[in-house]
Each structure stands twice: as structure tokens, then as C-alpha cells.
Amino acid sequence: MDLVEYQGKQYFARYGIPVSDGRVADTVEEAVAAAGEIGYPVVVKAQVQVGGRGKAGGVKLAADEIETRHYASEILGLAIGGHKVRRLWVESATDIAAEYYASFTLDRAAKKHVAIVSARGGIDIEQVAATDPQAIVSMHVDPLDGLDHDAARQLAGRAGLDPRAVEQVAAVLVDLYRCYVEGDADLVEINPLVLTAGGQVLALDAKVTLDDDAAFRHPEWSALEEIGDVDPRERLARERGLQYIGLDGSVGIIANGAGLAMSTLDVVNQVGGGAANFLDIGGGANADVMADALEVINTDPNVQVILVNIFGGIVRCDDVARGILRAIEEVKLSSPIVLRLDGTNSTEARKILDDRRPAGVIPELSMISAAKRAVEIAGERR
């Protein structure tokens, strides 16, 4: 689970990492009230789970109430990387002397954690890596040894930071490592980690990805999920217990089994289309699950066609066919279904479909022909 910035900063603060004083605001009035409490100047920041908010106009410095009002209403009207801005974070503005980068993540190949520091923060770290790789220093941290202040100081020293910042950055690294390990994160990233004009080191941004597999020992995480800005399609899918991941193509996909679902995505791509989602309905391809799956896909305005790709192994294709017939009675679909049913009892399934000839259901015999047909239809309906 990805946290938005203010949640990440609250996570950081628990481990002693310095952050600015700030408040959450869901309306312009709340933003103005927050700024009044904090004191001007403030920064008004869009809370969405994507980076590059600054470039997209989602981070603005406001000197007074008029500017706060103006920027808060402007940012609340933005969509950044497809995420509509519903919440703002208003924080005390910082006078920046230098912008750095610091992160911890896992290096799976090395079976170790990796700390990354750069004196060139504030911009995309991938861009720095591509154009100025020497500006990035890294160090493996053996999970059995942990990270002590001396090692952190050495790393900060190698990064070529302002000498005033080195000790403080080392302290932030030690705290950030603890946040990453004890807080069960897969990634913690501060970009920018700034040195203020007054000589203080401060985390001005926060990216935290929590390790979902550790949720069982963090009951407090359930509260985070509710306020997080999740994809509405993914929220509905989660409520229905479906394995769903939203993508941005126009071919909705339903398959049984994760492997078949991924192959279906590949084949759709191969024939020139784009998948709107990954959805694995697993072994229980019954009418209820099919209805839930169709309903979730139906809420996606990008979807032009739904490709249902079922291979009957344990599940019987005639049951799936009946399930689909029932499901399309329950859910009023806005897109046609291209249906490939193969495997156990596929002959019976085809007979059921031939007899009933449901409107908007187009049977295809093979996965590749089904994908081609679906991509054609998606193209025609654009």
C-alpha cells in the first residue's frame, strides 16, 4: 500500500524524522483555516499517490490568505496522473538552501537493504541516474547488522553534501532505516530532503510503500487505507474480494487463474490493444463472482469491450456459460463481451450460448481470435 505524502510524514515523525508543521484540508475553507493556524507563508500540496505533483501544478507557495484560497481551489480541481485531488496538505513553508535525496529499499538480488543518497534531490532520481550517475551514492545494509550512525555518516559524506548537513542527514538515515524496518515498509523515500537556510535538515516530501504482507501486525494500517486515495475500481473490487488491478487500456479482462489473466493481457497487447485491468476470478467462476467481476469492469469509463477468457479445468464451462447469462441479467453492461470458453464441457457451454444467443455476447473459439475481436471492437467503439 502506498501512503500519500502527509501519511508518510506522519509515519516519519513517529521515528523522529523532522518534518514541517502541517494540516490536512479537504476544502478551500479548511485550507485557509489551516494556513491561519500554521502561519504564513505556507505550501499547499495535492495529496495523491503519484510523484511529479510539483510539475503538474499540485505544489504551490502561498504568502497570504488570498493566495491560499486561490491555490487551494485550483489544486482541488486538478487531476494528477489520473488521480483527482480530493485532499490537500497545508504546511509551513521552508526557506530551502539545498535539496537532497534519501531512500531505503530492498535489493532482492543482493538479499540486502540498500540506502541511496544524492546531493541532487528535488528532481526525478531516475533522471539524475541517467544524466549524472556519480551524483548518486548507495550502500548495502545487511539486515542482520542494521545501520549505525558511523556507517550513515560515511554514506552522507560520500554524497558531497554541504558539510553543515552531514551529521543531521546521517541521523535522518538512521531514523529512516528504523522507520523502514520496524515500520514494515518496502520503500521509504525523501525527495527532497532539504537543508534550510537556517541550517536545519528537514523531510519536505515523503514516499512510503508499506509491505501489505505485514498488515497482520499493524492493525493501525486499516485507518490509513480509508483515507488513502484508492482507485475507485480497485476499492469496489476489494469489497467484492476480487483480485483486480486497474490499468489504463480499453479492453476489460476477466480470466480464471493469474497465469491465464496475465497471458490474456499479453495477447491483447500483442494484437495491438491495451488492457483496462487485470482480473483473476480464480477457480470459483460461478455466476455471483462473474456478476461481481462484470460490475467492477462496468464502472470503468475507459472500457469499450470485455474479454472473458476462461479455461475450464476444474471449473466446468457450461457452469460458466450459465453464470454469464445470469450475470448479464443482473448487471446492465455498457460494453459487449467477447467470450472464449475452452476446456471441460466446452461443447455443452457452446450449445447453451447457441440456444440463448444473448445480445452483446460474442463467442470466439481461441484466445488469440478472441483478443483480436475484442481489440477490433474497442477500436470501432472509440
Q: How many residues bind Mn ion (CB under 5 A)?
A: 2
Q: How far is the CB of 74 from ligand GDP (least distance, A)?
A: 15
Beta 185-196 vs 207-210: how paired, if at all?
Answer: antiparallel
Asked about 101 being catalytic, the answer comes back as: yes
Cell of 354: 447457441
Write down the catalytic residue from 101, 177, 180, 244: 101
Size of the site for ligand GDP (CB under 6 A): 16
What phi and psi values does residue 63 have, to the nearest 5 degrees? -90, -20
Among 8, 22, 122, 312, binds ligand GDP (CB under 6 A): 122
Closest separation in Å from C-beta 205 to ligand GDP: 3
Q: Decide if 16 contacts 175 (C-beta within 8 A).
A: yes
Q: What's the min distance (Å) between Cβ of 207 and ligand GDP?
A: 8
Nearest approach, Cβ of 93 to ligand GDP (angstroms)? 4
Q: Is 67 helix (H, G, I), strand (E, B) or coil?
A: helix
- Choose the catalytic residue: 189, 244, 295, 364: 189
- Which one of residues 191, 304, 345, 346 is an interface residue with Mn ion (CB under 5 A)? 191
Residue 207: CB minimum distance to Mn ion, A: 7
User: What would the x/- binding string for ligand GDP be over residues 52 to 91, using CB under 6 A?
Assistant: xxx----x-x------------------------------
Q: List, in sequence order, every residue forming a beta bridge with 308; answer none if it has no partner.
A: 254, 339
The stretches of the chain forming alpha helices (DSSP H) are 5-14, 28-38, 65-76, 125-131, 149-158, 163-182, 221-227, 232-239, 258-270, 287-298, 317-330, 346-356, 367-380
| Residue in this structure with the C-alpha cell 546521517, named with its chain if needed | 170
Cis status, amide bond into 41, omega within 30 of 0 = yes
Instruction: Identify the DSSP state of 212.
Output: G
Query: Which residues, in sequence order, are bridge partners of residue 341?
Result: 310
The binder of ligand GDP chosen from 174, 204, 281, 333 (CB under 6 A):
204
With CB under 6 A as the contact rule, the residue among 8, 22, 183, 192 that binds ligand GDP is 192
Closer Cβ to ligand GDP, 54 or 157, answer by number: 54
Residue 373 interacts with which of Mn ion, ligand GDP, none, CB < 5 to 8 Å by class: none
Return the closest-CA partner of residue 99 out of 169, 178, 46.
Answer: 169
Q: What are phi and psi of 326, to 5 degrees?
A: -70, -40
- Candidate ranges 45-53, 152-160, 265-273, 341-349; the one touching ligand GDP (CB under 6 A): 45-53
Choose among ligand GDP, Mn ion, none what residue 122 binds, the Cβ cut-off being 5 to 8 Å by kind. ligand GDP
93 lines the binding site for ligand GDP (CB under 6 A): yes
- Cα distance between residue 144 and residue 135, in whole Å: 28
Q: How many whole angstroms separate alpha carbon 188 and alpha carbon 176?
A: 7
Letter for the amino acid at 196?
T
CA separation for the pair 217, 212 (Å, rounded): 10
Residue 8 contacts ligand GDP per CB under 6 A: no
Binding mask 15-44 for ligand GDP (x = CB under 6 A): ----------------------------x-
Q: How many residues does the chain have?
A: 382
Shortest CA distance to 44 belongs to which of 76, 4, 84, 8?
A: 76
| Among ligand GDP, Mn ion, none, residue 52 binds (CB under 5-8 Å by kind) | ligand GDP
Smallest distance, ligand GDP to C-beta of residue 169, A: 16
Q: Which three cell numbers stand for residue 336?
A: 459487449
DSSP three-state, residue 338: strand
Whether 189 is a known active-site residue: answer: yes
Out of ligand GDP, Mn ion, none, what residue 295 binds, judged by CB under 5 to 8 A for its kind, is none
User: Cβ 175 to ligand GDP, closest distance in Å?
Assistant: 19
> Applying CB under 5 A, which of residues 91, 99, 189, 205 lies at the interface with Mn ion?
205
Chain residues that interact with ligand GDP, rule: CB under 6 A: 43, 51-54, 59, 61, 93-94, 96, 99, 122, 191-192, 204-205
Chain residues that interact with Mn ion, rule: CB under 5 A: 191, 205
Q: Which residues are catalytic?
A: 101, 189
